[in-house]
Structure 1
Amino acid sequence: MLKINPNGLGPTVFNTVIAPTLVPTLGPRAFYNDQYITGDFYSTYGDFNRSKSNLDVWGLGLTANWKVADWLSIKSITAYRTSKSDNDRDGDGSPLVILGPATLIDQKQFSQELQFSGETANRRFKWIAGLYYLRESIDFVAPVNISFVDTDNRAIIENRSYAAFGQASFSVTDRLRVTGGLRYTRDKKRNAPTIIATRLIDPATLTPVPPQALPIPFLISDESRTDSKVTPAATIDYKFSDDVFGYFTYSQGFKSGGFSQRIAFPRQKAPSFDPETVKSYEAGLKLELLDRRLRLNTAAFYTDYSNLQVIIFNNVEPQTQNGGAATLKGVEFEMQSRPVDGLSVNFSAGYLDAKYDSINPGTLIPANAKLAYTPEWTLSGSIAYEAQTSIGTITPRLDWSYRSAVRFDALNTPELVQPGYHLLNANLTYVDPSEKWRVALGVTNLTNRHYLVGGFSDLPATGFVDGTYARPREWYLTVRRNF
């Protein structure tokens, strides 16, 4: 727990209506305020709902290939998967009931893809075309306990996705190649929620609704939407030499719209959001030097988003909204080297300039907000030496990474801004001469750095900000036997 606002809607209702009834048992701890901030990264007072995350996944897949002729091959990819998840958490970090969400999801999906491919003109012309189908059904149950309301959230969700695609590449010369592709996607989504309140305290009057007036329907509807888009892609690449390769690519992307599921107030229909589209440009060079002991890759990119989909907590409810238009541009660099036999030295760097170009009216995003999850700098490096001995191979390895400041919510909540940090991991690996046994001893987060990896903020309604921290320093030992 990082911050508590006792004047938020949830804490106000709880401290006014419910807390006085708990004073004989809990005393001052019956009131929700800063006393429940532990000041420790890995401890919490939350014990009303024990946090858990259970996931069971089962699936089948079948891939079949058929060589019809020299110029035609057919591939079939069939897959079926089911998953069941049961998640629970004590969101408010206290033994009180300010926010206790749970989620149970039973998901089933079937997909089928057919690919037709071939090559002609002495393999200078290569092509692929195909069809794709996805059918998904979700039984979504999300009971929520909030200080002023308990809701039974249920929804039956049916998704269908259809696509047709094609791509062809032509080698104009031995060094120059052009590639073009096109994809048509059509997504259909049906949302049938049934959301009722089983307990309710009127936030305006701070009086409980009589039991005989319950349950109260918050949302009972059946909605559907269909989104479709044609997205092209084009690439031109050129081999300047056997060791230098350059390319330029342009592509468009598409993410369909949908519906938000958690509802805490009466509504005529579930909040919905529109499709997100993106245009991407990238140019790069790939080099192999010094008899392939040194590999260098560099790229520059420009990405233009429209109707960017972001998650915003709006009066308790987590809603996916279209935040606006955004631009991401940057450069990436990667080096892989083996200066001498056995020694590997690697390094990578990325610079990202991410910003909103415009923010859609009606969202809660501040005018000067920066995009979430977009660090300006990302750096990493590693060094390893593979020592050949009479008893086997011994390899010490050290990994380093750096990530500059990053924001973990669309509203740029100050408590959810993680400053830049460095990480170190190390391991020592032994492989016996037969290569049948492998033993590795290692440590992650060597310097025991405390840093955020996510968080939640809704100060006006639920009244708190909480964060999720990465795991502390950990040692591990792995033993593997190859047969």
Structure 2
Amino acid sequence: MRKLSYALGMVAMTTGNQDRASRRLYVWAAATTALCALYAPTAGADEAMLGEIIVTAQKKAERLQSVPVTVSAFDKSFLDAAGVVSVDTLSRMTPNVYMSSFAPSKPQIYIRGVGSRQFDIGSEPSVGVFIDEVYVGRTHNIFNHMLDVERVEVLKGPQGTLYGRNTIGGAINIITAEPTQHLEAFAKAGGGNYDAYFAEAAVSGAVAPEKVSARLAARYTKRDGYLKNLATGGAALGEDQIVVRGKLKFDAAEQFSLTLSGEYNHDDAPGQQGKAEGPDIFLRSPVAPIVAPTPDRFSDYYNEDSTLERNLAQLSGKARWQNDNVSIVSVTGYRYSKLEEFGDIDATILDIIDQDISETSKQFTQELRIASENGGAYTFEDRMSWIIGGYYLHDSSDRSDTFILGPDSLPAFLYLLAGGTDTILNTLLLDSKTESYAFFGQVSVALTPALNFTAGLRYSHDKKHGIYSGLTNIPGTLLIFFPFEFDLRRTWSSVDPKFTLDYHFSDDAMAFITYSTGYKGGGFQWAVTDPLLAQRVFDPEEVRYYEAGLKTQWLNRRLTVNIAAFYNDYKDLQVQRIVATSTGGASGVITNAANSTIKGFELEVLARPLPELLLSFGYGYLDAQYDDYVFDEFIDYSDTRMVRSPKHTLNAAVDYTIPVRDSDEISVRADWSYSSSYFHEPGEAMIPAPQPQAREDGYHLVNLRASYASGAWRLTGYVNNVFDKAYRQALLAYPPIGDNPGQNIGYPARPRMYGLEIGWSLN
């Protein structure tokens, strides 16, 4: 009850002792309310009402403002107006969400302080990503440009009952546009600095009137990299992507529909390549003195350029049958992905060590659910709604990492000195299979016309099998101690309940309180070269979650104010620890070695004081700390801030449309976001001594857009990161461990980007 009282208290009262950043939001919210109050409802008030957003966060269509879940939803009109082309952009438009990446294939997603930066096939994500209800187990292409998207929903907090495993932090639903019976189409193209250009088009219409409809969409994007390699003349952090999607919808009968979807995605761009963080790139390595700082934040010296090639194919089918009483839905998905990546991982001009990655994944999922229909025979005169279902997943993945020791490395130098002639290759191989099934159910009962009680339960069972091996072509070259192979097997089960009370004061105001739990699957080690440590298996993470929320609309639905507060009791975090190796050295391994407490609150405001003017504001406060985290016998991270968890996040936007002659209009939009400081690595310090590289200072970002629309045509100009703010989107920091000298590699975020685009649409 203490934890739930905290959440309720945070919603019910302001925190007068917070710092200036948290106090500003109350001034802004009050000003917005006062501004809207100047405009009393008139005969034209409907034009100023905020549009209704329908979400499927609870596996059924509901009003966003009526769902007792904290959801940030972005429909197509918002995505177009804000120029959102990839999911990670949304992290700057909703509080307490962090999305970034080390490289195109290594995304990081954190919601309310819960996330992961493990990218290998032995680990699981902390935030579930779903595309048209199909779970995306391997997220290495999730930050690619979105194509023909209808809506994105960001569900905050564990979603264990209806979404299952690996949604311990939340879930992201990406819903693509459906085929239509009427003819509609759009096309747009544009270009910008760094030789950027893109083209996108879609068409939808009837194949057989009233029976079959189809939709086809495609996009091509290319942009030069902005991180220059002064040694080779190449550049990293660029884009070269093509994606194609086709959909067919069959309305075979009044009660039955079937939607089939196929997508192909190809990416051929520079791979992982960051920037050396000053002369201590190797910290205490003998080569550290020669790794000098580079002229600016967008240049570095690598002896080779990185490369990346990704291919993805996805097939899915959604069948729905319903009558007046129940609906039955089947969602089937198959995903195939292939990743090839090469990188100079020593981050120097010396030929020390390169990494060649090859990864293949095949995933099959099946969900079947039965739900009550409003007004049906099994709802007790609409006093109850329910859903039950089952879920199955099979993932088969294999990955090889070959580490190529160059002549500037000490092992290779000694080998060549002794007369060796071959290139030294050390390879780690993991063949992993995951099989998971689950059964779930949720029921909501109207205790009174205004008060509802919801109870849900999910049982999950995971079985993992992995074959982990290490090979070397030159014995005694140190990177891998000796050839090994292990057969690893483990099973886990979890029962995750959810209980919610929601009270509707009116059609425009509701409050809710929730208790739920979440579960993230366990896994196997990766890139651990000691044979004994490589056999260590880490167990699942678990969280107990408390939340209270208030959703309101005011002034004839021209003002929306939503508030939520939360408390997480987070157990068995999968974190890195330093342990002794079998040869007397030290190595980093993933273990369940940490517990944490996460608490905070959020405010989201949306206002339309005039039909032509839309204002938005968001604020998030996050207090995320490790309660227990012993890194090694000398370093204790307990009572320090968790990684990638800024205490304050804010965002605001102004969107104004000016009607001009006939049906033409001019639209201008300004977006602002702020993140307070946070740490890329735990403990608020690096090893062996505090390092400023671990901390990311707070920063502001501003984006501007302006467009002119005439009939079916629209011309748009944009500038992102207007003030060219310098910050890092990620940091790879390896402390010195045993004979490993350690590294600090930063990945600079995008500089100022600008361009023009022209679009045409037919509706």
Give TM-score, length-normalised by structure 1: 0.87
Alignment correspondent of 1:18 = none
RMSD of the TM alignment (CA)? Answer: 2.4
Alignment correspondent of 2:443 = 168
Alignment correspondent of 1:212 = none
Alignment match of 1:37 (pick from 273, 293, 297): 293
Shift of 1:200: 5.9
Cα distance per residue 1:168-223 (max 9 Å; x no partner): 001122211111100011111111012112346666xxxxx9xxxxx974431110
2:473 alignment partner, SS class: strand
Query: Are residues 319 and 53 of structure 1, via their aligned partners in 2, closer, same or farther at CA, if it must alter by over 3 Å?
Result: farther
Shift of 1:242: 2.4
Alignment correspondent of 2:707 = 429
C-alpha distance in 2 between matches for 1:318 and 1:437: 56
Say whether the 8 Å CA contact 2:627–2:639 is kept in structure 1: no
Once the two structures are overlaid, the 10-residue window that deviates more, 180-189 or 268-277, is 268-277
Q: Is 1:142 equivalent to 2:401 in the alignment?
A: yes
Alignment correspondent of 2:332 = 78
Q: Is 1:192 equivalent to 2:450 in the alignment?
A: no
Alignment correspondent of 1:117 = 371
Alignment match of 2:599 (pick from 310, 318, 329): 329
Query: Are residues 312 and 82 of structure 1, via their aligned partners in 2, closer, same or farther at CA, if it must alter by over 3 Å?
Result: farther
Alignment correspondent of 2:643 = 372
Alignment correspondent of 2:608 = 338
Alignment correspondent of 2:348 = 94
Alignment match of 1:153 (pick from 428, 431, 437): 428
1:320 alignment partner, SS class: strand
Return the letter of the residue paired with 1:66.
Answer: W
Number of aligned residue pairs: give it: 450
Alignment match of 2:749 (pick from 470, 479, 482): 470
Once the two structures are overlaid, the 10-residue window that deviates more, 304-313 or 138-147, is 304-313
Alignment correspondent of 2:759 = 480
Alignment correspondent of 2:717 = 441
Alignment correspondent of 1:354 = 624
Return the letter of the residue paired with 2:637.
Answer: P
Once the two structures are overlaid, the 10-residue window that deviates more, 365-374 or 153-162, is 365-374
Query: Are residues 76 and 6 of structure 1, via their aligned partners in 2, closer, same or farther at CA, if it must alter by over 3 Å?
Result: closer
Alignment correspondent of 1:132 = 391
Say whether the 8 Å CA contact 2:547–2:566 is kept in structure 1: yes
1:298 alignment partner, SS class: strand
Alignment correspondent of 2:666 = 394
Query: Are residues 266 and 411 of structure 1, via their aligned partners in 2, closer, same or farther at CA, if it must alter by over 3 Å?
Result: farther
Query: Percent same amino acid among aligned pairs?
Result: 33
1:456 alignment partner, SS class: strand
Give the structure with the larger strand fraction: 1
Say whether the 8 Å CA contact 1:416–1:454 is kept in structure 2: no
C-alpha distance in 2 between matches for 1:324 and 1:216: 29
2:291 alignment partner, SS class: helix
C-alpha distance in 2 between matches for 1:8 and 1:121: 69
Return the letter of the residue paired with 1:179.
Answer: T
Query: Are residues 40 and 312 of structure 1, via their aligned partners in 2, closer, same or farther at CA, if it must alter by over 3 Å?
Result: farther
Alignment correspondent of 1:458 = 734
Query: Are residues 250 and 7 of structure 1, via their aligned partners in 2, closer, same or farther at CA, if it must alter by over 3 Å?
Result: closer
Say whether the 8 Å CA contact 1:353–1:376 is kept in structure 2: yes
Say whether the 8 Å CA contact 1:129–1:167 is kept in structure 2: yes
2:722 alignment partner, SS class: coil
2:299 alignment partner, SS class: coil
Alignment correspondent of 1:420 = 698
Give structure 1 stretches of 5+ with no counterpart.
Answer: 13-30, 204-208, 210-214
Shift of 1:274: 1.4
C-alpha distance in 2 between matches for 1:102 and 1:401: 37
1:33 alignment partner, SS class: helix
List aligned pairs for 1:295-314, cutoff 5 A.
295-311=560-576
Q: Is 1:406 equivalent to 2:678 in the alignment?
A: yes
Give TM-score, length-normalised by structure 2: 0.56
Alignment match of 2:514 (pick from 241, 244, 249): 249
C-alpha distance in 2 between matches for 1:51 and 1:274: 34
Shift of 1:313: 8.1
C-alpha distance in 2 between matches for 1:417 and 1:172: 50
Say whether the 8 Å CA contact 1:416–1:467 is kept in structure 2: no
Alignment correspondent of 1:26 = none
Return the letter of the residue paired with 2:676.
Answer: S
1:94 alignment partner, SS class: coil
Shift of 1:393: 1.8
Query: Are residues 465 and 432 of structure 1, via their aligned partners in 2, closer, same or farther at CA, if it must alter by over 3 Å?
Result: same
Alignment correspondent of 1:16 = none
Return the letter of the residue paired with 1:308.
Answer: L
Say whether the 8 Å CA contact 1:310–1:410 is kept in structure 2: no
Say whether the 8 Å CA contact 1:180–1:233 is kept in structure 2: yes
2:302 alignment partner, SS class: coil
C-alpha distance in 2 between matches for 1:268 and 1:356: 24
2:535 alignment partner, SS class: coil
Alignment correspondent of 1:25 = none
1:338 alignment partner, SS class: strand
Say whether the 8 Å CA contact 2:619–2:649 is kept in structure 1: yes
2:605 alignment partner, SS class: strand
Query: Are residues 480 and 462 of structure 1, via their aligned partners in 2, closer, same or farther at CA, if it must alter by over 3 Å?
Result: farther
Once the two structures are overlaid, the 10-residue window that deviates more, 134-143 or 412-421, is 412-421
Query: Are residues 6 and 249 of structure 1, via their aligned partners in 2, closer, same or farther at CA, if it must alter by over 3 Å?
Result: closer
Q: Is 1:179 equivalent to 2:454 in the alignment?
A: yes
Return the letter of the residue paired with 1:387.
Answer: I
Say whether the 8 Å CA contact 1:4–1:463 is kept in structure 2: no
Query: Are residues 94 and 305 of structure 1, via their aligned partners in 2, closer, same or farther at CA, if it must alter by over 3 Å?
Result: same
Return the letter of the residue paired with 1:121.
Answer: F
Higher relative contact order (CA 8 A, sep 6+): 2
C-alpha distance in 2 between matches for 1:66 and 1:410: 50
2:499 alignment partner, SS class: strand
